[in-house]
Structure 1
Amino acid sequence: MIRERSALPDARRVVVKIGSSSLTGGDGRLDVAALRALVDVLAARRAAGTEVVLVTSGAIAAGLAPLGLTSRPRDLATAQAAASVGQGLLVARYTEAFATHGLRVGQVLLTAEDTIRRGHYRNAQRALDRLLGLGVVPVVNENDTVATEEIRFGDNDRLAALVSHLVRADAMVLLTDVDALYDGPPSRGARRIDEVHGPGDLEGVVVTGRGSAVGTGGMVTKLASVAIATGSGVPVVLTSAAQAEAALAGAPVGTWFSATGRRVPTRMLWLAHAARTRGRLVLDDGAVQAVVVRRTSLLPAGVTEVHGSFEAGDPVELASAAGDVVGRGLVAYGSDELPGLLGRSTRELLAERGVGYDREVVHRDDLVLVNAPR
């Protein structure tokens, strides 16, 4: 694990994410010069021995001008069309730029469905590992052309954090249109925050929502991405594209976020941050205590309500009677079968229904706490 930013040059593998605003001009067109400048930096880092995975925005933005659009589409169908046109242009530019350094690129398009389903997640992991093993620079983007509102990441910041964990990166670098995190709007004389070692360092920080007109994220989404990465053992540097070279060299630019957690099993990170839940189970107070404090499995006796439609093996939320979500887990029963088991002990169910009905509703090995004491 990289513990200090000065050690970044020694990183074995780094994920770099760049946003739309850093790759496009004011007219929404792809800024080829900016793209080439980024590639020059990444190619130099690659030549120095660090494997690089690039998570890039810009497909929709790149498709605006060719389609005669003056701003990012608000409706899904037009956004998908812009992504379809722009993605080819974007990857072609990356291919050309990396080729001047003797490097090949491989396009990897992901949707949230690829992390919701564990089989897809493993496939994506294997593909990225193989690309890196072959010396290829993976260029990752959300597959906006086919993603629906229901199954999309919503921003590439979150995607970058999940990819960082998926490829077991030593660090993640978020490149945006501001040079660092500030405790308020930079235009109003706010203070730059050099390092963040835990949530306490963010007290009093005021951040805004959406960023540029061509992007979907803002500092809020970036901090959410940072929390996912650092919480799973991946430190982060947040800075501007203009400072990418200095950041990768370990210079004191931007904001350094230390890793606050440890590497967790892939399936647990998937369950905590990527899985789209299919339903909700409401727990009584005793079950909440058992799951959160004693870290036990969830039994039928502790469930009072079932909401949603799901099958055995699907991810569900676990909530208190007050509605507070305390965890997520893979449920062992379908929503059509579970209501008839509520409030019953496993001993009763075994005697009445036979072997198999004495199993947990959610096993502790398939459960992750959310917004609960750790």
Structure 2
Amino acid sequence: MSTTCLAAAKRFIVKVGSTLVTNNGQGLDLNAISEWARQVAQLRQEGKEVLLVSSGAIAFGMQRLGWRQRPKAVHELQACAAIGQMGLVQVYENAFVRHGLATAQILLTHEDLADRKRYLNARATLTALLALGVVPIINENDTVVTDEIKFGDNDTLGALVANLIDADALIILTDQQGLYTADPRHDPNATLVSEAHAGDPALETMAGGAGSGIGKGGMITKILAAKRAASSGAHTAIASGREKDVMLRLARGEALGTLLVSGTPTLNARKQWIADHLQVSGRLILDAGAVKALSAGKSLLPVGVVDVQGEFERGALVICLSPEGKEIARGLINYSSGDARRIARHASADIEALLGYEYEAEIIHRDNLMTR
């Protein structure tokens, strides 16, 4: 497969590392951030959706504090993140506003994406921002996490966000040209890997360890991130963020850096994950009209729900049953069991009056449904 898979992509996650954002720890690289904003703006004009995952808060906080080495104490790392995040988002906001684009700061932890309710909330927020034409600037919430701040990295976060919003491609921009067969700093015979299948065990052997004292990751975290992104169908490109127009060239299918290809269609992989890897928390009994709608690939509306069985929270996995008790589908529900019972057999237009709020018009959206 060639890089045409990137040319066909519509939704991109672009991750930029600390070394690039802070110009090797010298301070925020305003020119680089300005260039990335220009490229994102152009991609938007070409009909692409872009979410930016940016490292740099801790590194910039270190620079503002005059610290040359990354501290090891968690509270000092969190202080660096709090200080650095302020300047980081201001720079991004100023860079994008020059192109008429609004930005939104999104701070996530791994727990946000592991908890089903928070997962759905994050997904809904990001989807709404994209629909509004806003560019989300995403970072790990380093001011509150503990283990993640010691062991986490934004390569992994980029992959998790790709899974979260069904991205077609993950672009990881780094200070290296891509993945080499060995460390080119030590092996003159090392060659660039132009294309491979994400998840190939040989890639992890090639990747080695962390490459910079500024950032937390390294090539190995990028290889593992590509493997994770591939589980939901996203292809990954690892390329130098210092290449001119790197985002635009990759999005147009130019061969740059290393392309790690996923072999699974995006939506099918996501639905298979829903079907196989989550514990069922409840059941919905549907009427014949709802069964027919789900069979046609439509969302489940509350009017088609006859009965709600079990106790569960928003975001839980529930089974959808026909009037005869046959499993028709399973999916992530937008409402808790109590609220689902209150809106069952009612039109979507009645949800706000019944509950005093409305998450979604659908009780389960078709993107979160796996039909049998």
- Superposed pair shares fold, TM > 0.5: yes
Cα distance in 2 for partners of 1:65, 1:198 equals: 35
Residues 123-142 of structure 1: per-residue CA shift (max 9 Å, x gap): 00000000001000001000
User: 108, 127, 131: which one pairs with 2:129?
Assistant: 131
| Contact 1:29–1:64, Cα closer than 8 Å, also in 2 | no
User: Against the structure 1 CA distance between its residues 152 and 74, is the aligned structure 2 distance closer, same or farther, given a 3 Å change threshold?
Assistant: closer
Residues 203 and 229 of structure 1, relative CA distance in 2, 3 Å threshold: closer
> Retained in 1: the 8 A contact 2:17–2:215?
yes
**Structure 1 residues 140 and 267, CA, compared in 2 at 3 Å: closer, same or farther?**
farther
Any idea what the Cα deviations from partners look like across 1:287-319, whole Å, max 9, x if unmatched? Answer: xxxxxxxxxxxxxxxxxxxxxxxxx99xxxxxx
CA distance in 2, matches of 1:46, 1:203: 32
Deviation sequence 1:154-191 (CA, Å, 0-9, x none): 00111101101111111111111111111001222201
Map of 2:207 onto structure 1: 207
CA distance in structure 2 between the aligned counterparts of 1:203 and 1:148, rounded to whole angstroms: 29
- The residue identity in structure 2 corresponding to 1:109 is L
Q: CA shift at 1:5, angstroms?
A: 1.7
**How far apart, in 2, do the equivalents of 1:45 and 1:32 lie?**
20
Distance in 2, matches of 1:162 and 1:269, equals: 15
Task: Report the TM-score when normalising by structure 1.
Answer: 0.68
**Separation in structure 1 between the aligned mates of residue 163 and residue 193 of structure 2, nearest angstrom:** 25
Q: Which residue of 2 aligns with 1:258?
A: 261
User: Structure 2 counterpart of 1:66, which letter?
Assistant: R
Query: How far, CA to CA, are the matches of 2:95 and 2:141 in structure 1?
Result: 22
Match of 1:75 in 2: 73
**Which residue of 1 is the match for residue 225 of structure 2?**
225
Partners in 2 of 1:271 and 1:179 — Cα distance? 37
RMSD over aligned CA atoms reads 2.8
The letter of the residue matching 1:39 is: A
Q: How does 1:111-260 map to 2 (within 5 A)?
A: 111-149=109-147, 154-187=152-185, 188-189=187-188, 190-197=190-197, 199=199, 202=202, 205-243=205-243, 244-245=246-247, 246-260=249-263
1:54/1:138 contact within 8 Å kept: yes
How many Å separate the matches in 2 of 1:108 and 1:73?
25
Contact 1:51 1:132 in 2 (8 A): yes
Identity of aligned residues (%): 39
2:276 & 2:84 partners in 1: Cα distance?
Answer: 32
Q: Which runs of 5+ in 2 are unaligned?
A: 279-311, 314-372
Give structure 1 regions of 4+ aligned residues with deviation exceeding 4 angstroms: 150-153, 198-201, 269-273
What is the deviation of 1:87?
0.5
Q: Secondary structure at the match of 2:206?
A: coil
Give the TM-score, by structure 2 length. 0.68
- Partner of residue 25, structure 1: 23
SS at match of 1:179: coil
Contact 1:209 1:220 in 2 (8 A): yes
Matches of 1:70 and 1:151, distance apart in 2 = 18
Q: Are the structure 2 counterparts of residues 267 and 211 from structure 1 closer, same or farther at C-alpha, using a change threshold of 3 Å?
A: farther
SS in 1 for 2:65: coil
Q: Would you say the 8 A contact 2:129–2:136 is kept in 1?
A: yes
Q: Does 1:105 align with 2:110?
A: no
C-alpha spacing 1:10/1:19, structure 2 compared with 1 (3 Å): same
Q: 1: distance between equivalents of 2:129 and 2:156?
A: 22
Q: Is the 8 A contact 1:115 1:270 kept in 2?
A: no
| Structure-2 separation of matches of 1:90 and 1:6 | 33
**1:65–1:45 CA distance, 2 compared to 1 (3 A):** same
Q: Following the alignment from structure 1 to structure 2, what is the Cα–Cα distance between the partners of residues 270 and 32?
A: 45
Deviation at 1:7, TM superposition (A): 4.4
Please show how residues 253-292 of structure 1 align to structure 2 within 5 Å: 253-262=256-265, 263-265=268-270, 268=273
